Amino acid sequence: MSFVLPRNHPCLNKDANVLELLGWFLAEFTTLENVLKIFLLRAVGAELQAGYFLVSRVDAKALTPKIRAALRQKHRLQDDLKTLLEEIGEVADVRNRLSHSALEFDDKYSEIRCIAFGATMSGGAVPS
């Protein structure tokens, strides 16, 4: 299987900055997460409109074991599908850390500071 980036992909733009690329990654992963939600609803035989509100706040980290469990009820899962679902869960960990972090980039160094859920940077009491 080969992987080719689309012609106007931000990763191919030499002038794209790191924050633009991170934004692209977060947006694309959100699309994948929505597909996983629909995949789970199909796997359990739920009606999409009625069932979507049940999974609307579930992230990919929690979705992948649920999909595996739902598919195991009816099918024998291939090892490559199991591995793929596990790897999506690992990427979800990275996405969660990035989306809940305050990123600072400088010419000399770069730093990622994690912010506790609900904290703001304006109060000055942001944990490092």
Confidence of residue 78 (pLDDT cuts 50, 70, 90): confident
pLDDT in tens, 25-68: 888 888 899 999 998 898 888 888 888 888 888 888 888 888 88
What pLDDT, on a 0 to 100 scale, did the predictor assign at position 120?
52
CA atoms of 79 and 116, how far apart (whole Å): 37
- Tell me, what's the pLDDT at 104? 62
Name which residue leads in pLDDT, 5 or 78. 78
Q: Output the pTM of the full model.
A: 0.67
- Report the chain's mean pLDDT, rounded to a whole number: 76
Beta strands in 9-116 (DSSP E): 101-105, 110-114
Residue 2 scores a pLDDT above 70 = no
Angle between helices 18-43 and 60-72 (to 10 degrees): 30
3-state secondary structure of 9: coil
